[in-house]
Amino acid sequence: MYHDVVTGDPSASGFQGAGPDHYKVTRGGFEAHLDAIAATGLTPHVVGERAGDPAVLLTFDDGGRSAVTDTAPILEARGWRGHFFVTTERIGTEGFLGRDEILALHAAGHVVGSHSCSHRIMPRLDDADVLREWSESKAVLEELLGARVTVASVPTGYYSKRIGRLAAEVGYEHLFTCEPWLEPRRLGEVLVHGRYPVYAGTSAQRVQAYCAFSRPTLWWVGGTWYVRKAAKAVLGPRYESLRSHVLTRASWMLTQA
């Protein structure tokens, strides 16, 4: 699970702030990650392809402009394709993909999917609002692409089965979460995929361990994820405020080092 791949100022693409910047990988770091993936003998594929087992899928959340300036060209140079999930209310705004750029990704063979309309925390919304997030973003992308959109990813890292069932209700067939599991899980008509996170400081060795299915690495990442999930449940909205404070403080300390 990636977000933006950036050259220079991270605020030039995607959401801004210490939280989003925590997920923005440098171009050099991303190229090192792809070298590490290739070293495992795996070739990334997209949903719908018969890739065999095991397989790796590359996903990019939010819909930042770096998808066309950095990420897609790097992937295409290797003959690889990715999944780009667009926050539709941000289309054409500063730092985010425009309509023509989304069309170009689709034409190049990448998968374009929904990342909701507004990027809100879905489990805090009622069913009607979740359905609107899923259905309206799907309609916007289908009108733009002239093709069915059947793939989506859950924004903000908060997921529940209710969110998955509502995604299936509006016609999604593949839903990507931030939960760290390997095997896709069937939930009604939708196949729910887990993902393993890549952060600004994630090493090529960590990415290679993911793609080599290193059990100690996967167990460690899974364990820390579920600790954070428990903290989110206990702290509620205070979790995001605390996390933002910690990341802002860490970013400031790095600039002083």
Burial 58-88, CB ≥16 within 10 A → b, else e: bbbbbbbbbbbbbbbeebeeeebbbbbbbbb
- What is the reported pTM? 0.89
Percentage of residues in the chain having pLDDT higher than 90 = 75
Q: Using one digit for the tens of pLDDT, what is the confidence trace for 43-74? A: 999 998 876 678 899 999 999 999 999 999 99
Residues 20 and 32: their CA atoms lie apart, in Å, by 21
Percentage of residues in the chain having pLDDT higher than 70 = 87
- Which of the 8 DSSP states describes residue 96? B
Tell me the average pLDDT across 87-98: 97
Give pLDDT, residue 227: 79
For the chain, the structural domain boundaries read: 5-215
Q: Using one digit for the tens of pLDDT, what is the confidence trace for 192-235? A: 999 999 999 999 999 999 999 999 999 998 888 777 666 666 66
In this predicted structure, the answer to whether residue 255 has a pLDDT above a threshold of 60 is: no
In this predicted structure, the answer to whether residue 251 has a pLDDT above a threshold of 80 is: no
Tell me the average pLDDT across 4-23: 90
Tell me the average pLDDT across 92-109: 98
Tell me the average pLDDT across 100-128: 97
Give pLDDT, residue 241: 61
Asked if residue 82 lies in contact with residue 46, where contact means CB atoms within 8 angstroms, the answer is yes
Give residue 247's pLDDT band: very low, low, confident or very high (50, 70, 90): very low
The more confidently predicted of residues 226 and 181 is 181
Span of 14-18, 76-80, 120-124, 225-229 with lowest mean pLDDT: 225-229
Tell me the average pLDDT across 161-187: 95
Residues 138 and 37: their CA atoms lie apart, in Å, by 31
- Which of the 8 DSSP states describes residue 159? -
**Top-level CATH class of 5-215?**
alpha beta
